[in-house]
Amino acid sequence: MSPLLALDEARRILLDGIGLLGADKVNLAEALGRTAAEQVRAGHDQPPAPISAMDGYAVRAADAVPNAQLRLVGEAPAGEPYLGPIGPGECVKIATGGVVPESAGRVIMQENVTRDGAVVRIGDASGPSFIRPAGMDFAAGQVLLAPGDRLGAAEIGLLAAAGFGSVTVARRPRIAVLACGDELRDPGQRLEPGAIYNSAAFAIAALIDEWGGTAIRAPVLPDDIEVMVEAIRARADSVDLFVPLGGASVGERDLFRPAFELLGAQTLFWRINVMPGKPSWHARLPDGRPVLGLPGNPASAFVVAHLLLRPMVYGLLGRDPGSAMSLSAATLATPAKENGSREAWLRATTTIDRSGSVVITADPRQDSGLQRPLVSANALLRRPPGAPAAPAGSPVEFLRMR
């Protein structure tokens, strides 16, 4: 039997030829969680003109001195600029966000003046100018978004401030999640003796949606290769990536790989040097569309999805796949055992200690059929092949899950 494929090599093969699928233009209100497909530049300065950062009085810089007595000549509420310059010994009442009149160099907070009719006397004149210059936030022509940037609430607010009512985003990859097994039932159905719920497909579909794709969950397929082939063929024209779960070992009912091969798919790798996740596999259909086979065990599928599926989804969105694979440093909170020959990824939880350093604790429950540990885990602790036992406080690497 051929040696197990290293994780880095499996990723290299998976990501070969993976790229942006296309673009859609969507209203800004519908853009949350989408990925920018093109560069966005500001069309104007923000703010467009100098504005006041405080409620107060706009004055010439030379008049901003204690005990100066000034004549009030107008007002500048937000949205109604005062037209014309301010002369020596004059001032204009201004609201936060109001346009600072021409020739004004300071805004004196209203708490620092006294007023008697049209006469304003300055008290404390110290402190900043309280004027936000034009272009302080961004200038016309400045890049606001780059291709591959994910649109969160802050990015949407920035685009709104720049006046964009719509944005061009990456088309969501349509990813079919396929599960097979005569023993599987969808949640909500009654369990007969020997049956189990199809939890892995729901979890993987949720991850796909969370990462920016569109998951398509097919009904549970029986252990019948002809039915499998027809189910795959029926979705072939509307799916960008197939993710079959299980059915890739060497048993009589492990039929997913043979089913895809009957449709002309070429298997590029089968079995990787990772624990959990050894039976993972990858193939390409004749038209180049990828297939990523994940283990059938729910926890194994969840872990390997972070290692292999997430970089693929990022690549299909035009995002940097490397950002899905970036490792962080931590120290062990508890000792780690010697690792075997396979690269291990342990469900773990990170915390911050009193010194501000990241510490990580591996969950003692690492069985590939357990899902409760996935709820508390926020990281995958990496243990390289053949890593020796390590005491608490040893440096390690981990992949963030959330």
CB 282 within 8 A of CB 329: no
Q: Please, where in the chain does CATH 2.170.190.11 lie?
A: 51-132
Task: With a cut of 80, say whether residue 227 has pLDDT above it.
Answer: yes
Count other C-beta atoms under 10 Å from residue 109's C-beta: 17
332 falls in which pLDDT band (50, 70, 90)?
very high
| pLDDT tens digits, one per residue of 267-283 | 999 999 999 999 999 99
| Predicted pLDDT at 220 | 93
Q: Is the dihedral of CA 369, 370, 371, 373 positive or negative?
A: negative
Q: Please, where in the chain does CATH 2.40.340.10 lie?
A: 327-400
| Predicted pLDDT at 402 | 83
Q: What is the CATH number of domain 23-46+142-170?
A: 3.90.105.10
Task: With a cut of 60, say whether residue 251 has pLDDT above it.
Answer: no
161 falls in which pLDDT band (50, 70, 90)?
very high
CB 242 within 8 A of CB 312: no
The residue ranking higher by pLDDT, 95 or 194, is 95
What is the mean predicted confidence (pLDDT) over 190-218? Answer: 95
Domain made up of 51-132: CATH architecture? Beta Complex (2.170)
Q: What is the CATH number of domain 7-21+172-324?
A: 3.40.980.10
3 falls in which pLDDT band (50, 70, 90)?
confident
Closest listed residue to residue 390, CA positions, set 366, 367, 360, 368: 360
The residue ranking higher by pLDDT, 302 or 84, is 302
Average model confidence (pLDDT) across the chain:
95
What is the mean predicted confidence (pLDDT) over 294-318? Answer: 97
pTM: 0.90
Q: What is the CATH number of domain 327-400?
A: 2.40.340.10
Task: With a cut of 80, say whether residue 2 has pLDDT above it.
Answer: no
Q: Please, where in the chain does CATH 3.90.105.10 lie?
A: 23-46+142-170
Rg of the chain's alpha carbons, rounded to an integer?
A: 30
CB 358 within 8 A of CB 329: yes
The percentage of residues in the chain with a pLDDT greater than 90, rounded to a whole number, is 93
| pLDDT tens digits, one per residue of 88-146 | 999 999 999 999 999 999 999 999 999 999 999 999 999 999 999 999 999 999 999 99
Cα end-to-end span (Å), the chain: 37
| Predicted pLDDT at 368 | 85
| pLDDT tens digits, one per residue of 202-213 | 999 999 999 999
252 falls in which pLDDT band (50, 70, 90)?
low
| Predicted pLDDT at 138 | 98
CB 48 within 8 A of CB 138: no
CA–CA separation, 387 vs 90, rounded Å? Answer: 76
CA–CA separation, 300 vs 310, rounded Å? Answer: 14
| Predicted pLDDT at 254 | 79
The percentage of residues in the chain with a pLDDT greater than 70, rounded to a whole number, is 98
What is the mean predicted confidence (pLDDT) over 374-383? Answer: 97
| pLDDT tens digits, one per residue of 336-362 | 999 999 999 999 999 999 999 999 999
* Residues near 123 by beta carbon (within 8 Å), at least 6 away in sequence: 66, 67, 112, 113, 114
At 340, list the tokens: 């075997």
- The helix/strand/coil state of 143 is strand
Q: Please, where in the chain does CATH 3.40.980.10 lie?
A: 7-21+172-324
DSSP string covering 158-203: HHHHTT-SEEEEEPPPEEEEEEB-TTEE-TTSPPPTT-EE-HHHHH
The residue ranking higher by pLDDT, 141 or 189, is 141
| pLDDT tens digits, one per residue of 14-66 | 999 999 999 999 999 999 999 999 999 999 999 999 999 999 999 999 999 99
Distance of CA 46 to the CA centre of its chain: 27
